[in-house]
Amino acid sequence: MRYTIYQLIILAGLVVLAFYTEQFNQELVMIRIQTALFYALTLIGYIAVIVGAFCLIMYFQTKKSETFLIHPLWEKMAKFVAIVFALSSIGLIILIEWLELTQLIGEHRVLLYLLIYYFLFLLNVFVLSLIHKINSRELTKERKIMWFGYVTVGSLAVIMFFI
């Protein structure tokens, strides 16, 4: 029960983080101090906090459930999540092009944060399933979760560097 409460606190923290991010973003627009380096470091820090929160949620799930990461579905999870990610990306592109999602996001900024959290969660589960598949016997569940946090933040930082 207490781990469920911890998970709910983390989810509430993600909501608060989205609120403060929106406030901070509006202040940056007003002050106009967005240099490229400052923006990149802020974005990497923001992503690291979100990924860290997802890591904690997964960690508390391992404490709650003895069967977490043991089910045979985890062996096929990478393929499943890749398909869901691809379909979600196609759906997002269709929504942006045909239903003018950008205008809707401009009016309701909470949708932007929901999309960010959704795609980062899918990426986290994908990386966790890859780490689980590669190192299923050598690493404990807690170490797998720690490694998926490192790998996710590192890979996103490298991708952002090249963009």
What distance in Å separates the CA atoms of residue 112 and residue 118, rounded to the nearest whole number? 10
104-115 tens-digit pLDDT: 777 777 788 888
Mean pLDDT computed over 82-99: 89
pLDDT at 88: 93
Cβ burial of 149 (10 Å; 0-12, 13-18, 19+) is buried
- Residue 51, Cβ density class (10 Å: 0-12 exposed, 13-18 middle, ≥19 buried): buried
23: buried, middle or exposed (CB in 10 Å: 19+, 13-18, 0-12)?
Answer: exposed
Place of tokens 């092009």: 97
Residue listed under structure tokens 């890979």: 155
pLDDT at residue 83 is higher than 90: yes
Task: Determine contact, residues 73/19, Cβ cutoff 8 Å.
Answer: no
Q: d(Cα 115, Cα 101) in Å, to the nearest integer?
A: 11
Q: Over the stretch 12-28, which tens digit does the pLDDT of each residue have? A: 998 888 888 777 766 65
Answer whether residue 30 shows pLDDT above 60.
Answer: no
Least reliable range by pLDDT among 22-31, 61-70, 76-85, 137-146: 22-31
3-state secondary structure of 99: coil
CA dihedral (127, 133, 138, 139) positive or negative: positive
Which pLDDT value is given to residue 34? Answer: 57
